[in-house]
């Protein structure tokens, strides 16, 4: 049975179900498997079957194999494409891997559709319940709410800044009608929403009474589910043994880290291209070996408007040879001084596997326009950032798979600004415009928000 250890080395090792429900380790670190399983010769024509095989070693001995396979099948049956994650060629030797065919049209569904089912399964086994609270500026909220829709074991309250999300993003949350999901508009900013969530977790009696839980991107189970499509892509391209490069539009580093795990398990990856918008701390880290904090600037690709990528910690501890306390120290230094660096040897190891580039909003719009003009196809701004980075960094003859993380219809204004045309609405979001919206509006006040949570808890 695989055990998981904290990146900071000072929390007890846990098995998969505890890691799933715990999220963050008690020393503030992130859980990582003690050793990487090897891929072996997993092979399948069907995404769910491949997913069951690739993830099997991570849950083995803690979840019944048949029940796990059923949860995986059910999770990917919610996708509206038979391949779940289909590929399409953009330029010769440059492919897009479409990760947006799930219920909310963004790649978060791939992990959260499974995580919701894993939560339900484990909570039923323990005869427990949880209340998930979270803050969202966009994609994560609806993906998490969809993932637990109708669950008997999980309630969810999602805070969003009133009037500051796009209409599509708001309606994706507020038109859901199950008794266990609650969208709450806070009269404040996204940061206010995040502070309210942190304050609820810090309120011990409240936290215990309501059994608060989270499904944020540091949860190991989310990373685990994302390993699969890297393997899938190379099988579909018939490149099972030929080194291939992946380009990943990056925010919290969860997606690209999952690729690194696939590579560590034996997938033949040439290198990873880490694509950023103007919030380019990762580009600078890869170029210089130094992390220097900067202010977050809003861009057309909001899910990448992040300066401190939480999942980077999982890579840092590896670069520091598994030394948890040294990792904690490096991050502490970064938090207090806004600066932390890697020594030349470690920087060289980082550069051997990763390259990075950034695109600003004008460059992003130019890519959307170019892809529309030459390929008669709409791409969303996050995907456009990655396409632009891949084209710039590509070496002669290099085969690249660029991850396409959202459907263009989620960002119609940016697409229209670039191309003069609005992308068609897939059925999944066309429906939300006819439905009634249900949401509470609350002031930016902890007592009011806590009262709301207690009032909806079943």
Ligand X SMILES: *Cc1c(COP(=O)(O)O)cnc(C)c1O
Q: Does 304 bind ligand X (CB under 6 A)?
A: yes
Give kind and range of the element (H or E) at residue 340.
Answer: strand 339-341
* Whether 159 contacts 186, CB under 8 Å: yes
Q: How far apart are CA 384 and CA 407, in angstroms?
A: 11
Q: Per DSSP, what are the bridge partners of residue 354?
A: 272
Q: Does 146 bind ligand X (CB under 6 A)?
A: no
Measured from the CB of residue 255, what is the shortest distance to ligand X in angstroms? Answer: 4
Q: Does 172 bind ligand X (CB under 6 A)?
A: no
Measured from the CB of residue 298, what is the shortest distance to ligand X in angstroms? Answer: 15
Q: Among residues 51, 105, 106, 148, which is the contact residue for ligand X, using CB under 6 A?
A: 106
Measured from the CB of residue 285, what is the shortest distance to ligand X in angstroms? Answer: 14
Nearer to ligand X by Cβ, of 282 and 449: the residue is 282
Measured from the CB of residue 249, what is the shortest distance to ligand X in angstroms? Answer: 5
Please work out the total of residues on this chain that contact ligand X, with binding judged by CB under 6 A.
Answer: 17
Nearer to ligand X by Cβ, of 17 and 388: the residue is 388
Task: With CA atoms as reference, report the closest residue to 191 among 86, 296, 120, 103.
Answer: 296
Q: Does 255 bind ligand X (CB under 6 A)?
A: yes
Measured from the CB of residue 189, what is the shortest distance to ligand X in angstroms? Answer: 19
Q: Which residues contact 357 (CB under 8 A, 6 or more apart)?
A: 273, 274, 275, 276, 283, 388, 389, 392, 393
Q: Does 358 bind ligand X (CB under 6 A)?
A: no
410 labelled catalytic: no
Nearer to ligand X by Cβ, of 119 and 257: the residue is 257
Q: Among residues 355, 406, 414, 449, which is the contact residue for ligand X, using CB under 6 A?
A: 406
Q: Does 303 bind ligand X (CB under 6 A)?
A: yes
Q: How far apart are CA 409 and CA 169, in angstroms?
A: 11
Q: Does 105 bind ligand X (CB under 6 A)?
A: no
Cite the beta strand spans of 122-171 per DSSP E. 130-135, 154-161
Q: Among residues 250, 283, 299, 402, which is the contact residue for ligand X, using CB under 6 A?
A: 250
Nearer to ligand X by Cβ, of 79 and 253: the residue is 253
Q: Which residue has the tokens 């999980």?
A: 154
Please provide the distance, in angstroms rounded to a whole number, between the alpha carbons at the two ends of the chain.
Answer: 35
Q: How far apart are CA 272 and CA 137, in angstroms?
A: 27
Q: Please give the full DSSP string across 204-266, using - where no structure is assigned.
A: HHHHHHHTEE---TT-HHHHHHHHHHHHHHHHHTT-SSS-EEEEEE-SSSHHHHHHHHHHHTT
Rounded to an integer, what is the distance from CA 11 to the centroid of its chain?
24
Measured from the CB of residue 147, what is the shortest distance to ligand X in angstroms? Answer: 14
Residue 152 structure tokens: 């008997």
Question: Pairing mode, if any, of strands 31-33 and 154-161?
Answer: unpaired
Q: Does 219 bind ligand X (CB under 6 A)?
A: no
> Within a 13 Å sphere around the CA of 86, how many CA atoms are in the beta-carbon half?
11
Q: How far apart are CA 305 and CA 410, in angstroms?
A: 17
Measured from the CB of residue 38, what is the shortest distance to ligand X in angstroms? Answer: 24
Q: Does 251 bind ligand X (CB under 6 A)?
A: yes
Give kind and range of the element (H or E) at residue 363.
Answer: helix 361-375
Q: How far apart are CA 396 and CA 352, in angstroms?
A: 18
Q: Does 314 bind ligand X (CB under 6 A)?
A: no
Q: Does 141 bind ligand X (CB under 6 A)?
A: no
Catalytic, out of 94, 95, 101, 108: 108
Q: Does 342 bind ligand X (CB under 6 A)?
A: no
Q: Among residues 29, 134, 161, 254, which is the contact residue for ligand X, using CB under 6 A?
A: 254
Q: Among residues 8, 153, 260, 382, which is the contact residue for ligand X, using CB under 6 A?
A: 382
Q: Does 145 bind ligand X (CB under 6 A)?
A: no
Nearer to ligand X by Cβ, of 217 and 419: the residue is 217
Q: Does 405 bind ligand X (CB under 6 A)?
A: yes
Q: Among residues 230, 253, 272, 378, which is the contact residue for ligand X, using CB under 6 A?
A: 253
Nearer to ligand X by Cβ, of 386 and 453: the residue is 386
Residue 343: Cβ within 10 Å count: 10
Span from 106-114, 148-156, 423-431, 443-451 in contact with ligand X (CB under 6 A): 106-114
Q: Does 108 bind ligand X (CB under 6 A)?
A: yes
Q: So which residues are the catalytic ones?
A: 108
Name the site residues for ligand X (rule: CB under 6 A): 106-108, 139, 217, 249-255, 303-304, 382, 405-406
């Amino acid at each position: 049975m695989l055990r998981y250890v904290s990146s900071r080395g000072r929390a007890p090792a846990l098995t998969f179900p505890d890691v799933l429900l715990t999220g963050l380790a008690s020393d503030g670190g992130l859980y990582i498997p003690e050793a990487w399983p090897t891929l072996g010769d997993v092979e399948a024509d069907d995404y769910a079957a491949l997913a069951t095989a690739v993830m099997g070693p991570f849950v083995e001995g803690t979840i019944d194999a048949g029940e796990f396979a059923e949860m995986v099948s059910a999770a990917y049956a919610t996708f509206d494409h038979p391949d779940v994650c289909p590929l399409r060629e953009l330029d010769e030797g440059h492919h897009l891997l479409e990760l947006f065919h799930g219920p909310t049209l963004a790649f978060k569904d791939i992990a959260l559709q499974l995580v919701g089912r894993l939560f339900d399964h484990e909570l039923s086994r323990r005869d427990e319940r949880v209340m998930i609270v979270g803050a969202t500026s966009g994609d994560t909220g609806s993906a998490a709410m969809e993932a637990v829709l109708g669950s008997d074991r999980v309630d969810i309250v999602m805070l969003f800044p009133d009037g500051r999300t796009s209409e599509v993003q708001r309606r994706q949350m507020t038109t859901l009608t199950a008794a266990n999901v609650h969208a709450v508009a806070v009269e404040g900013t996204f940061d206010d929403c995040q502070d309210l969530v942190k304050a609820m977790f810090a309120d011990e009696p409240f936290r215990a009474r309501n059994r608060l839980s989270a499904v944020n991107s540091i949860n190991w189970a989310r990373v685990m589910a994302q390993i699969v499509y890297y393997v899938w892509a190379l099988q579909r391209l018939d490149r099972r043994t030929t080194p291939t490069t992946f380009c990943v539009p990056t925010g919290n580093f969860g997606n690209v880290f999952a690729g690194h795990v696939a590579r560590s398990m034996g997938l033949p990856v040439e290198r990873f291209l880490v694509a950023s918008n103007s919030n380019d701390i990762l580009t600078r880290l890869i170029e210089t070996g130094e992390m220097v904090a900067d202010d977050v600037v809003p861009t057309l690709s909001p899910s990448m408007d992040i300066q401190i990528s939480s999942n980077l910690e999982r890579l840092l501890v590896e670069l520091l040879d598994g030394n948890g306390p040294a990792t904690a120290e490096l991050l502490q230094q970064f938090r207090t001084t806004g600066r932390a660096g890697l020594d030349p040897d470690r920087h060289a190891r980082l550069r051997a596997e990763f390259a990075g580039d950034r695109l600003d909003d004008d460059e992003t719009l130019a890519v959307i326009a170019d892809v529309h003009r030459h390929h008669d196809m709409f791409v969303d701004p996050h995907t456009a950032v990655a396409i632009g980075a891949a084209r710039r960094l590509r070496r002669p003859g290099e085969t690249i798979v660029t991850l396409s993380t959202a459907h263009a219809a989620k960002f119609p204004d940016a697409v229209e600004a670039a191309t003069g045309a609005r992308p068609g609405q897939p059925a999944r979001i066309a429906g939300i415009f006819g439905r009634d919206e249900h949401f509470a509006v609350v002031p930016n006040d902890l007592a009011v928000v806590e009262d709301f949570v207690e009032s909806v808890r079943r």
